[in-house]
């Protein structure tokens, strides 16, 4: 598929364009109501009935999570609930899944996982706690949305239930981390979790509370009071400011052509013959905010925030619209000193709410880079600005190339390239395994990690970067183009499935966390299950769902 073959999935939206979500703010508490428009799916071959969702619904939710964090500093608790009577959310739309390509299903699941992670990140680090007010049935992805919240409140009306019915009904797994969150986040006993995930009708009221699937229940007459009480209690725990003004997340401006994508600070060039995209991240142009007040004034136009949003949009565009582009070449361009100066905000004013949000957004963007099923290659050449936060892309890469010396054939050769680690690379941007990218790179090699920490603040040429084990190869200008092109050609000749598996195994050394389990175990298993005839074959559960005919399973275990 290329841009010329299929409609482009646009990841951009804003509150005025929402079709599926409503936002109400009352002091320190925001209420986010899911009222899905059945006729507003991304494709026309299904209806989004009973508050079921597709990618379009989740694009809006992703946007809403970010807007709450940046535009509403006075919101300290967020209540998410259903807008239809006796329905919280029925989960991912089954007809959408049945008609989607395999790649779209997997990308959809990954994106919804990342959006749920952003909700958890807001609760854990932003002082903006999410609470699920489950006012009716919460099935499959609906319960997984609730699981992303820090508290789950269930109406006890003898009908409303929480459930993960994917296994008995659809022959697939819950696609948004539900199995892992049930046991790793809610600490539900393993045997009860097993029983829960095979009960089509789910679990109601007191049993859901006793099993640990929800935190509190209340009859319909008392449910609103319970929700209000818990929301105010959690809002009172927040360290967010009460009366600060937020900043508007203005629309991301981009120019899309057949083989390029251009933003203010990001440029993407596609080489379809090599199956590669070169993503160039540009450093600051002009003075950047040095204080929180200046950052508030600059808003979304500040370099740190603008680049993070544009880089994120570019990655999502490539994921959904350019699946055949299997290699991303990550480059930087600009003044490294300006990058280091801009990120001093994080080190001098890290407790300010907006400074913190920009840093946390960068953490999400970098984790999205790690989790993208693409070969990541970093290049450092004269004119690069691989410093601090931009050096994280170098540390995220599967391989890296740094030019030794400079371009000798130029009349006025530029200075050689350099790399500079800063404190940002030490402790600001953990991966999903809980380690920094440096810590992951040197997992089990404490002396090498200490040596890398020892060069923080130094400008390293290619020889010094090799000695510090920060790069893979250091060709000179005679070999640069040939070595890079040969590597890209070789990569493009390999099986993309095998590469995805290899890269994911190598990228996440060290301990497991709930997030790493969700993305490694779920992605691998769901990827496989989505191709099995028991799920997607002509007699499989996804095709037979809703027809009145039972699926015909091949009962041989694999």
Q: Give the DSSP letter string of 318-372.
A: HHHH-TT--EEEEEEES-HHHHHHHTHHHHHSTTSHHHHHHHHHHHHHHHHHHHS
Q: Say what the pLDDT of residue 8 is.
A: 87
Could you report the per-residue pLDDT of 126-149, keeping only the tens digit for each?
999 999 999 999 999 999 999 999
* pLDDT exceeds 60 at position 214: yes
Q: How do beta strands 91-92 and 52-53 pair?
A: parallel
How many other β-carbons are positioned within 10 Å of the β-carbon of residue 444?
8
Q: Say what the pLDDT of residue 545 is.
A: 86
**Whole-Å CA distances, 506 to 114, 177, 366, 486:** 20, 22, 17, 22
- Judge residue 414's burial from the number of C-beta atoms within 10 Å of its C-beta, 0-12 exposed, 13-18 middle, 19 or more buried: exposed
Could you report the per-residue pLDDT of 378-419, keeping only the tens digit for each?
999 999 999 999 999 999 999 999 999 999 988 899 999 999
CA pair distance 118, 360, nearest whole angstrom: 9
Residues 6+ apart with CB under 8 A from 149: 80, 119, 123, 130, 131, 132
**5 band by pLDDT with thresholds 50, 70 and 90:** very low
Q: What is the mean pLDDT of residues 11-39?
A: 96
Contact between 288 and 303 (Cβ < 8 Å):
yes
Q: Say what the pLDDT of residue 6 is.
A: 56
* Positions marked catalytic: 92, 141, 144, 166
**3 band by pLDDT with thresholds 50, 70 and 90:** very low
* pLDDT exceeds 70 at position 193: yes
pTM of the entire predicted model: 0.95
> Higher model confidence: residue 519 or residue 4?
519
* Domains, the chain: 15-235 (3.90.226.10), 256-507 (3.90.226.10)
Helices (H), 212-254: 220-235
């Amino acid at each position: 598929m290329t841009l010329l073959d299929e409609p482009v999935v646009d990841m951009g939206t804003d509150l005025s364009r929402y079709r599926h979500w409503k936002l109400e703010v009352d002091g320190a508490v925001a209420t986010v109501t899911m009222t899905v428009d059945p006729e507003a799916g991304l494709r026309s071959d299904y209806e989004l009935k009973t508050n079921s969702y597709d990618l379009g619904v989740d694009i809006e939710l992703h946007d809403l999570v970010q807007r709450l964090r940046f535009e509403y500093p006075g919101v300290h608790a967020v209540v998410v609930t259903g807008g239809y009577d006796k329905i919280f959310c029925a989960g991912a739309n089954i007809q959408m899944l049945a008609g989607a390509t395999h790649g779209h299903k997997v990308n959809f699941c990954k994106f919804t996982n990342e959006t749920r992670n952003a909700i958890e990140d807001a609760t854990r680090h932003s002082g903006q706690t999410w609470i699920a007010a489950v006012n009716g049935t919460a099935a499959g992805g609906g319960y997984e949305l609730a699981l992303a919240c820090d508290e789950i409140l269930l109406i006890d009306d003898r009908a409303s239930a929480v459930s993960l019915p994917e296994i008995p009904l659809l022959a697939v797994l819950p696609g948004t981390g539900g199995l892992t969150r049930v046991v790793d986040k809610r600490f539900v006993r393993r045997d009860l979790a097993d029983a829960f995930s095979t009960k089509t009708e789910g679990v109601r009221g007191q049993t859901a509370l006793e099993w640990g699937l929800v935190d509190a229940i209340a009859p319909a007459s008392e449910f609103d009071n319970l929700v209000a009480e818990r929301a105010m209690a959690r809002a009172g725990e927040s360290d967010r400011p009460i009366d600060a003004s937020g900043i508007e997340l203005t629309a991301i401006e981009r120019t899309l052509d057949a083989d390029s994508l251009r933003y203010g600070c990001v440029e993407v060039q596609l080489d379809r013959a090599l199956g590669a995209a070169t993503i160039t991240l540009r450093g600051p142009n002009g003075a950047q905010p040095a204080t929180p007040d200046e950052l508030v004034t600059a808003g979304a136009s500040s370099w740190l925030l603008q680049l993070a949003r544009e880089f994120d949009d570019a990655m999502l565009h490539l994921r959904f619209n350019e699946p055949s582009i299997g290699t991303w070449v990550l480059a930087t361009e600009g003044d490294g000193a300006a990058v280091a100066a801009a990120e001093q905000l994080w080190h001098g004013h890290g407790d300010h709410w907006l400074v913190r949000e920009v840093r946390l957004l960068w953490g999400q963007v970098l984790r999205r880079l790690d989790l993208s099923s693409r070969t990541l290659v970093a290049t450092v050449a004269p004119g690069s600005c691989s410093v601090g936060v931009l050096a994280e892309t170098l540390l995220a890469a599967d391989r890296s190339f740094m030019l030794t010396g400079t371009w000798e054939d130029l009349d006025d050769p530029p200075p050689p390239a350099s790399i500079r680690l800063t404190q940002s690379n030490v402790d600001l941007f953990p991966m999903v395994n809980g380690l920094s990218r440096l810590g992951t790179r040197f997992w089990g090699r404490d002396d090498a990690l200490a040596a890398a920490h020892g060069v923080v603040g130094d400008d390293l040429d290619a020889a010094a970067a090799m000695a510090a084990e920060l790069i893979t190869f250091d060709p000179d200008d005679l070999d640069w183009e040939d070595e890079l092109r040969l590597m890209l050609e070789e990569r493009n000749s390999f099986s993309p499935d095998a590469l995805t598996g290899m890269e994911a195994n190598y990228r996440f050394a060290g301990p497991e966390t709930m997030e790493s389990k969700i993305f490694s175990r779920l992605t691998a298993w769901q990827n496989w299950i989505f191709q099995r005839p028991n799920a997607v074959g002509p007699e499989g559960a996804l095709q037979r769902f809703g027809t009145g005919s039972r699926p015909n399973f091949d009962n041989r275990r694999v």
